[in-house]
Amino acid sequence: MRAAQKYKTVAIPVKLWDEISRVVEASGVYNNEAEFIRDAIRSKLGEVSIVTMRGIPEEKVEEEIINYIRERGKAYPSDITADLGIPYFTVTGVIQKLVEKGTLEPAEER
């Protein structure tokens, strides 16, 4: 039985490595380049979120979007996508249909 692999190896362009080395030396915060890279990756991962898309019928999408906006008063399509897991272009298409039907009113632009 093989032991589980704990690490992956990646190639970093020389120019980027040199820049990282200069930051490590100048800052005095990091012991080495690997520590800096791990910290940078953790920081970047903390900024990113993954949205899992759901496959649901359009009637249900309409209902969920209406309820979402009703609860919040107004919402950006990107927020609806992130919170409900409905693809962005589906959200914008449904919102456009709801506006055309008079179910929703577009927000005033400032």
Cβ count within 10 A of residue 94 = 22
Residuewise pLDDT in 10s, the chain (110 residues): 677 778 888 899 999 999 999 999 999 999 999 999 999 999 998 887 776 767 788 789 999 999 999 999 889 999 999 899 898 999 999 999 999 999 988 877 65
CA atoms of 36 and 22, how far apart (whole Å): 11
The pTM score is: 0.55
Query: What are the domain boundaries of the chain?
Result: 14-47, 58-101
